[in-house]
Amino acid sequence: MNSVLKMKDVKRSFEQGGHKLEILRGVNLSIERGEIVALLGPSGCGKTTLLQIAGLLEKPNSGEILINGHKVKGKADSIRTGLRRTQIGFIYQFHHLLPDFTALENLLLPQYIAGVNKAAARQRASELLESVGLEKRAEHYPSQLSGGEQQRVAIARALVNNPSLLLADEPTGNLDPKTAEDVFQVMLHTIRRLKIGALVVTHNVELAKRMDRVLQLKDGLV
């Protein structure tokens, strides 16, 4: 199996008011290429912290993170940033699109930052917008799109630099049930078509059951 993410005995704690809060107490998990994994757990149990660490946005107190077999521990921030930019895509509960740029431009900018030439970037952006059903909305600004359309653009943007790992934090949490279902279907179809690994935080048990595997985070352990 080809693991895109491995977390080995990952621990994370915080000091608060003179007390030590243990959020993650030794997390072990593995996500394989082409596998979509749901992460469930009560509010405040550390799901977002786990995602932040998996996405190299935060460092654990101890433990090992491997992205596509590459050990991250001790690596310079520039290397972590490079891995984040080229290997990892993020989808959040709120779309975080840049309001002054069109849907197409929101997909072009991350590619320009990664050094992709304009012609290739435009082709990739157009293909992804088509894959999420928004090819006719490419020149629209976020304010001209519905909530579901905005989140579909966010999904396309997360995938635009060909990541091998997708991390999603309640990606349908801000949407009404029907729109959430539509966006969820688009997300699953796109991830499966591109054969990338995905870790999806959700509170929706029914959605979780439709993924390949369900993990529970409880008392700091998976």
pTM, entire model: 0.88
Give Cα separations from 202 to 48, 91, 170 (angstroms). Answer: 10, 12, 5
H/E element, 214:
strand 213-216
- Residue 117 confidence (pLDDT): 93
Tokens matching residue 130: 């088509």
CB atoms within 10 A of CB 67: 23
- Residue 146 confidence (pLDDT): 92
Q: What string of DSSP letters covers 99-142?
A: TTS-HHHHHHHHHHHTT--HHHHHHHHHHHHHHTT-GGGTT--G
- Residue 17 confidence (pLDDT): 79
Bridge-partner residues for 198, per DSSP?
36, 166
- Residue 145 confidence (pLDDT): 94
- Residue 1 confidence (pLDDT): 56
pLDDT along the chain (222 residues), means of 10: 88 84 91 92 86 91 91 86 87 86 95 91 93 91 93 91 91 81 85 90 87 91 88
Signed CA dihedral, 99, 101, 103, 107: sign only: negative
Q: Which CATH architecture has domain 3-216?
A: 3-Layer(aba) Sandwich (3.40)
Chain centroid, CA 195 distance in Å: 14
Tokens matching residue 146: 């519905």
How many whole angstroms separate alpha carbon 222 and alpha carbon 206?
Answer: 19
* Strand 19-32 versus strand 36-40 pairing type: unpaired
Contact 172, 10 (CB under 8 A): no
